[in-house]
Structure 1
């Protein structure tokens, strides 16, 4: 079994972090929480005509959630790192 296959996203929560200019969400490898950050530029590339405000970026994340979760699974390597940036 590859490490990415043990990464789950049972919690649909996400939040915009204005200080880091990203949307944050969390995955779990068993009981271990892994933070993922999707930067504004990535979200803008996913929806080029959208506004760059918080509500628009969160809507872009929601609309592209499945694609973003697949990117997160690809990035995750199961090592000691507990935060990944998708950019």
Structure 2
């Protein structure tokens, strides 16, 4: 099987300070997290509690193809229960 991303959903996980998304290997769900530091930050100071969350989700959307490529590479490097992608993974 190949890892696919048919569901475009993603969410911000405040506890992990990461964006969570899911891949699928056949019928198996594979959870992924992208650290916020990998998504970059603008120099502007956030205003309001939800601004950083929105910024990280927008950054994820802009980098979605690269993130999915990095996720496939991480997944086929060894099977784990979940995967955390860092800035090094997105280079």
| Both proteins in one fold, TM over 0.5 | yes
Distance 1:73 1:50, change over 3 A: farther
Moved more, 64-73 or 75-84: 75-84
Distance change in 2, residues 1:27/1:50 (3 Å): farther
2:13 aligned with 1:17: yes
CA apart distance, 1:83: 0.5
1:34 aligns with 2:30: yes
TM value normalised by structure 2 = 0.79
1:1-34 deviations in whole A, cap 9, x for unaligned?
xx6xx10000000000011100000000000000
Aligned ranges 1:5-84 → 2 under 5 Å: 6-44=2-40, 48-49=41-42, 53-77=52-76, 80-84=79-83
Gap regions ≥5 residues in structure 1? none
Structure 1 pair 66–80 and aligned structure 2 pair: CA distance change class (3 A): closer
Q: How many residues align?
A: 80
Unpaired runs of 5+ in structure 2?
Answer: 47-51, 87-91
Q: 1:81 offset after TM fit, Å?
A: 1.4
RMSD: 1.9
The secondary structure found in structure 2 opposite 1:27 is strand
